[in-house]
Structure 1
Amino acid sequence: MCRADADGRARRARSEAADLWRVQLVRRRAPRSRGFIGTGSGGRIVRSQSAAFAFEGAPSRDASRRFLEQALDGRAAQGAHLIVTVPAPVARPDALLRAFPREASILWDPPQSAACSGLGVATTLAPDAQSIGEFFDGTEHLAHESSPAPRVFGGASFAPGAARQPPWEGFGDGLMLLPTWTYQVNERASLSFAVCESESPDARRVLEVFDAIWDSLERPIGVIPPPVSVRRIDEADRHTWSRQVDEIRREIKKGSVDKIVAARHCVVELETGAGSLDVLKRLEGRFPGCTRFAIWRGDAAFLGATPELLISRSGLSVLSEALAGSTAHGDAARMMASSKEREEHKLVVQAILRALGPFCDSLRSAPEPRLRELPNLLHMQTPIEGRLREPTHVLALVEALHPTPAVGGVPTREAVQWIVEREALGRGWYSAPVGWTDAEGDGEFVVALRSGLLRDGKAWVYAGAGIMADSDPDAEYAETELKMQALLGALHGDGR
């Protein structure tokens, strides 16, 4: 086929798609962006393209399928990045993943906003605003006029180099990825297919996958999976932990630091069949008020259910929170009255306000911390909200905030240096930022707590505690054990 014939075929296909959905091409201009983790700041205008189509009534498999088919036909002679978004049935985000479990790439399930899940990886990007902006610059988005903007998902390691050694192979210092298939669901749902290769995919195969996904979205997920056996095979003992806490307290007394968040891990061996999707299903049942997240890299899954928001940006509005100070149920009065817990919490509030202050016209925190109740423990929490002075990319805000004293310490550089040099196992992505962003620079990132890495029939489970001058090693050890139970309970599923 000659070039003219191919171009004519592409134009006819796009015309048919436009007739089908009454497509009206629009362009959206994204705000000036700034840098992210490990990068300098820079400015650029980011543009994304989208197409809007009118849609009425409940999502129709035939209509969505036909629009996807027409879009793929129209792209055949183009070669540009393409994202096609169509209406889809409302379901739990896990339903997409269960259609093709081996292709799972991301899960994002916050308690009060849209949930997302992804299959496959269309492209992987550096975690900086410029790379993401350039990608969306070269991407055409064909979508329903009310469809959400495409998102990329990912995060970074706790510190440079923290995820370069086993068991964190494949994660590295940071990445953002666009799934091949993305399902977004809130009050409505949408399904997106992304093509980022120069050659167009086999349309017949794409439509077969589409049908399998649609079937899965219409099928109930089922009950929480039954318990499985797990066995701890490696962890630091109390004596090692106590020695570490004593060392931190000596550093504090010398004036080198004010606080260091010490973390420990345990390794458990999983029974055959204890898969990441089952663990995520149990976390959903156990921690409905937390953000479930998962990122798969090869045969490894980093997942958890975290209670802590790092930053959320929507337009000029930003939200954050300080979450520091933890105790068991029944001990709330002691924690809220404890000078140690309040001082530790105050350090986090002040650090967040200092980090966000240069970006904001207005910024305020709640006057007093409140009690945040989770199924397995209690936290001290202070909400923080502000309004940006100018449109600042969410990744720049992540860079300014991470690590807060809730996961690092005070001063930040000295605390992180101690953590990197002294902890027995690199943290990888534990206690690091994980989340999403889009072409507008909006997004949301959480602190990856109550989390662990599943790989090769084992799970590495992490937890930490803030060490101050008057910290008691036994009490801090008990706190980390309590935090570990969030994921350990989801691994074996017996409610412990």
Structure 2
Amino acid sequence: MSTAAADPAPLVVRTVEIDDVGDLLPLLPHDDPATTMSWVRRGEGIVGWGAAARLRTDGPARMIEADAWWRRLAGRMIVRDEVGVPGSGPVAFGSFAFSRDSAAGGTLVVPRVVVGRRDGRSWLTVASPAALGPAPTLAQARGAVTPVRAPGAVRYRDGSLTADQWQAAVAEVVAAIRAGQVQKVVMARDVLARTSEDVDVRHLLRALAAEYPGCWTFAVDHILGATPELLVRRDHGLVACRVLAGTIRRTGDDDDDLRHAATLARSSKDLEEHELAVASVAQALGPYCTSFNVPEAPFVLHLPNVMHLASDVTGVVDATRGPSSLALAAALHPTAAVCGTPTPEAAGVLARAERMDRGRYAGPVGWIGADGDGEWGIALRSGVVQDARTVRLFAGCGVVAASDPAAELAESEAKLLPMRSALG
């Protein structure tokens, strides 16, 4: 249920086109993890700061409740959008817990200021409860800018489980799978990073975007990362989902990586894992689409640290009466790629085996516009800023009957690399 006012004051939202801003992330003026927001890929997307309105939700209906709150709020706004592209006009950033039972709940935030860039066009959006006035300049909207700080020396320690305990838990899950209790379980692992200087989320976001430009560099309400997995995008009725399942670590040698990519594409273990993930997305998305397409075979997605089997599932929904991007995210979550198959049984197994609350790791994260269009990823390759000098890092691995605990531990280390590298 909601823990914020259901009906905040009506907002006045104005969007104006501005000169090309280039990189978006250097525009973030402050380092507050609660009100610094990002959704950027290959130099395009949106960043925001401040909070003109905010909703806190929890429980099984956290995303549906947030969607209804946003529809009510958007319907009462006074909007002047001079740009008219996806991401201009009113937007809200959101992140939601993986589990319906998690105390992390969910958050939807309407930034006070948004700067966007798409197809060579840049814009500035300002939202406030005040009357519509002259459009501010970007410099005025940024206000006082604090310098970006590096986190200094970093020390790591085990999270909920030690490496040995986690491998033992994976072995227990493999035994449950081989006994026929479940087909696949995605096991998450956490590591705690302690920095010698206060964490500046802008430093981490810039490092992630520079190293992983093909991923969506995100930040919403203390969680940030660079996810390669698009849960769902809705754009004028067109729906797209990118499914990743099946992973192999890169070696740094191009020839070796090509051989490993070929091995991944033929791996029965990884192909089985991927097929289950794609099937779960198709099953969840199908009832909402007038048509949709599922590729016959995956492709290999090359990232700086790992390679994934990937499939792009697409569909069509009614752009005016169909579900919003957030409602589609709610219907799709959790996919087999982050939970397992069958989903209810897998969720029960991982809840016992992981022995931790994932919080918002592997939950939906992204943004929604006033028309319901938007983009939602899965909060992977991520960390949560717990206090000024502590970041909780997460990684997950798909476990099937053929899984080896030591190999899964090595895969988790590869998936922790983006956040470790960003911390320096």
Q: Report the TM range for the smaller structure's normalisation.
A: 0.7 to 0.9
Distance 2:406 2:400 in 1: 14
Mapped pair 1:415 → 2:346: yes
Distance 2:290 2:136 in 1: 49
Residue of 194, 201, 209 corresponding to 2:127? 194
Partner of 1:123 in structure 2?
Answer: 53
Distance 2:337 2:101 in 1: 20
- Report the alpha carbon displacement of residue 84 of structure 1 after superposing the two structures with TM: 2.0
Judging changes above 3 Å, is the alpha-carbon distance between structure 1 residues 103 and 244 closer, same or farther for their aligned structure 2 residues? Answer: closer
Residue of 190, 193, 202 corresponding to 1:268? 193
Determine if contact 2:33/2:201 at 8 Å carries over to the other structure. Answer: no
Determine if contact 1:103/1:119 at 8 Å carries over to the other structure. Answer: no
Whichever of the two has the greater Rg, that structure is 1
Matching residue's letter, 1:348: A
Partner of 1:352 in structure 2?
Answer: 281
- Report the alpha carbon displacement of residue 326 of structure 1 after superposing the two structures with TM: 0.5
Per-residue deviation, residues 433-457 of structure 1 (Å, max 9, x unmatched): 1011122111110011100012320
Mapped pair 1:333 → 2:262: yes
Residue of 453, 458, 473 corresponding to 2:390? 458
Residue of 97, 111, 122 corresponding to 2:28? 97
Determine if contact 2:288/2:322 at 8 Å carries over to the other structure. Answer: no
Partner of 2:325 in structure 1?
Answer: 394
Partner of 2:11 in structure 1?
Answer: 81
Please state whether the residue corresponding to 1:282 is helix, strand or coil. helix
Partner of 1:27 in structure 2?
Answer: none
- Report the alpha carbon displacement of residue 271 of structure 1 after superposing the two structures with TM: 1.9
Q: TM-score, normalised by structure 1?
A: 0.74
Partner of 1:247 in structure 2?
Answer: 172
Matching residue's letter, 1:272: E
Distance 1:398 1:423 in 2: 24
Distance 2:114 2:177 in 1: 47
- Report the alpha carbon displacement of residue 490 of structure 1 after superposing the two structures with TM: 0.8
Judging changes above 3 Å, is the alpha-carbon distance between structure 1 residues 470 and 427 closer, same or farther for their aligned structure 2 residues? Answer: same
Judging changes above 3 Å, is the alpha-carbon distance between structure 1 residues 400 and 104 closer, same or farther for their aligned structure 2 residues? Answer: closer
Partner of 1:143 in structure 2?
Answer: 81
Gapped regions of structure 2 (runs ≥ 5): 3-8, 58-62, 251-256
Distance 1:489 1:112 in 2: 19
Distance 1:384 1:151 in 2: 25
Distance 1:124 1:357 in 2: 32
| 1:23-172 alignment runs, 5 A limit | 80-91=10-21, 92-98=23-29, 100-102=30-32, 105-111=35-41, 114-125=44-55, 127=63, 128-144=66-82, 146=84, 148-162=88-102, 164=103, 172=104
Determine if contact 1:88/1:214 at 8 Å carries over to the other structure. Answer: no
- Report the alpha carbon displacement of residue 361 of structure 1 after superposing the two structures with TM: 2.0
Please state whether the residue corresponding to 1:101 is helix, strand or coil. coil
> What is the aligned length?
393
Judging changes above 3 Å, is the alpha-carbon distance between structure 1 residues 486 and 102 closer, same or farther for their aligned structure 2 residues? Answer: closer
Partner of 2:6 in structure 1?
Answer: none
Partner of 2:242 in structure 1?
Answer: 321
Judging changes above 3 Å, is the alpha-carbon distance between structure 1 residues 94 and 410 closer, same or farther for their aligned structure 2 residues? Answer: same
Farther off after superposition, 385-394 or 482-491: 385-394
Judging changes above 3 Å, is the alpha-carbon distance between structure 1 residues 209 and 372 closer, same or farther for their aligned structure 2 residues? Answer: closer
Mapped pair 1:173 → 2:105: yes
- Report the alpha carbon displacement of residue 88 of structure 1 after superposing the two structures with TM: 2.7
Per-residue deviation, residues 301-348 of structure 1 (Å, max 9, x unmatched): 210001001100112211012200000122222221111111000001
Distance 1:320 1:418 in 2: 26
Gapped regions of structure 1 (runs ≥ 5): 1-37, 40-78, 165-171
Identical pairs, percent: 32
Distance 2:215 2:183 in 1: 29
The alignment's C-alpha RMSD in Å is 2.7
Mapped pair 1:475 → 2:407: yes
Determine if contact 2:395/2:412 at 8 Å carries over to the other structure. Answer: yes
Partner of 2:5 in structure 1?
Answer: none
Judging changes above 3 Å, is the alpha-carbon distance between structure 1 residues 113 and 489 closer, same or farther for their aligned structure 2 residues? Answer: closer
Judging changes above 3 Å, is the alpha-carbon distance between structure 1 residues 453 and 231 closer, same or farther for their aligned structure 2 residues? Answer: same
Please state whether the residue corresponding to 2:28 is helix, strand or coil. helix
Q: TM-score, normalised by structure 2?
A: 0.85
Partner of 1:55 in structure 2?
Answer: none
Per-residue deviation, residues 54-88 of structure 1 (Å, max 9, x unmatched): xxxxxxxxxxxxxxxxxxxxxxxxx7421122233
Distance 1:82 1:424 in 2: 45
Distance 2:10 2:335 in 1: 40
Residue of 211, 218, 228 corresponding to 1:307? 228
Partner of 1:445 in structure 2?
Answer: 376
Judging changes above 3 Å, is the alpha-carbon distance between structure 1 residues 146 and 319 closer, same or farther for their aligned structure 2 residues? Answer: closer
Matching residue's letter, 2:181: S
Residue of 291, 307, 322 corresponding to 1:362? 291
Mapped pair 1:232 → 2:170: no
